[in-house]
Amino acid sequence: MKPSRSRAFIVFLEWSSMRIRKVTTADIGLLCPVFVDMERHYEGAGAIGEAEVRARLGRFLRSGHGIMLVAVDDGALGILSMFEMFPGVALRPVWFMKELYVAEWARSRGIGEALIREAAKIVVEQGGSRLDFTTGRDNSGAQRFYSRVGAGEVECVVLRFDEAALARLAQQETELLPE
């Protein structure tokens, strides 16, 4: 019988120098190409330019909010950003993954899975009870990927205040009812 090579072994051969690590404020230049790629992927012609990507990324990284991971080889291959939320079940923290993005030219090589595994390690180390995230209903590729790595779909309604609704809400006066 011929020995089989696992997917992880193949990934190791292709990306032998790839590593996953937390992002620091010194990584803006490293991350910028992936964020520009992501903006173009999601926004098309309406994507913000590189200068604005650098400015917004710099503000976020200096804020100290959340954790961002990067898959690095000769450059950035993909990113994952997540945030701790409280309270969760039994007053344990839950985490929300805002973004998992792998550069289009680096996909289908195990990078997304490596980022998810590192995120899972961090959530467990921090005492988190779960990692929640969303994906578009029409993004069947992402849904297959997340299912393959062990995520389960939950029945939930996602609601959002878009920018205009948020501005209207913020302008309204709050009237408290008398006791």
Q: What is the pLDDT of residues 96-135, one digit of tens each?
A: 999 999 999 899 999 999 999 999 999 999 999 999 999 9
* Of 158, 82, 167, residue with least CA distance to 124: 82
Q: pLDDT for 18-37, tens place per residue? A: 999 999 999 999 999 999 99
CATH class of domain segment(s) 7-171: alpha beta
Domain segments of the chain as ranges: 7-171
Residue 6 to residue 3: CA distance in whole angstroms: 10
The structure's pTM equals 0.84
3-class secondary-structure state, position 23 = coil
Non-local CB neighbours of 38 within 8 Å, separated by 6+ positions = 79, 99, 101
